[in-house]
Amino acid sequence: MDAGARPVESRRQLGPQDLVHLTAQLPLEITPVSRNPSAQPLEPSSCALRLLQPLAHRCHPPITGIVSCRREGLRTQLLLGFGGNQGDVAATFAGTLSALGAEHPVVAISRLWRSAAIGPPQPDYLNAAVLIELRTTPQALLRRCHELEHAAGRNRTREPRWGPRSIDLDLLIAPGLVVLSPDLTLPHPRLAERRFALLPACELVPAWTHPRLRRPLAALLAALDPAAQPCHPVGPWGPTGRS
């Protein structure tokens, strides 16, 4: 090599661990959950996410991850949606809540709400919201919810889209938490469109702000037409009682 020649700079593509290292000083957490080349990369939904997006797109394969705008050590609350229209729905909800509450402390429970079903002709749905303390990752909670649905008689592989079911458990929203992964989107992608989800949610956390739409849940509910999506309160329920 000539004395005046410059050495060839070694370049490599960034990976998930590089992104974690580069963001270590930011007041948030990021946990890569997929290295699928077809996975959707991070999308901006807050100032912190906009800072991360250029780094995420430089990674190969693109990173899909959990971004939480909270400092480590603080407890995270998450809102779950319960729905169902087959069998004794209140009893199914109560049994499922008892099993779930043994793993994630239950903070509050909404009333039951009745609404017309979406999809093929079928009985009305009962819906409720449950506020829990999240003690695992959202993906682990989603897997647990699917196990509880199966235990209650639901078969996701055979049921028609928006068909009748004994129970449907949805992860709705957690404050400051955005998840974009192949198996889970949080907040729920259709939360802002559904009165049957927002009504029980607003009984518990009306001031929570949707981290992507940047509007309180109460404002999202007020923007929907009650006549187009009629919902009616039914009454209380819980692990030890029925509506």
Catalytically active residues are 154, 165, 168, 170
CA 214 remoteness from chain centre: 16
Nearest-angstrom CA–CA distance, 181 and 169: 18
Nearest-angstrom CA–CA distance, 88 and 204: 24
Report yes or no: 23 and 69 within 8 Å, Cβ to Cβ.
Answer: no
Residue 19, C-beta contacts closer than 8 angstroms, at least 6 positions apart: 30, 32, 52, 55, 56, 59, 63
| Phi-psi map region of 139: left, alpha, beta (phi>0 left; psi -120 to 50 alpha) | alpha
Backbone angles phi, psi at 38, to 5 degrees: -90, 0
Residue 25 corresponds to which amino acid?
Answer: Q
Nearest-angstrom CA–CA distance, 43 and 208: 21
How long, in residues, is the chain? 243
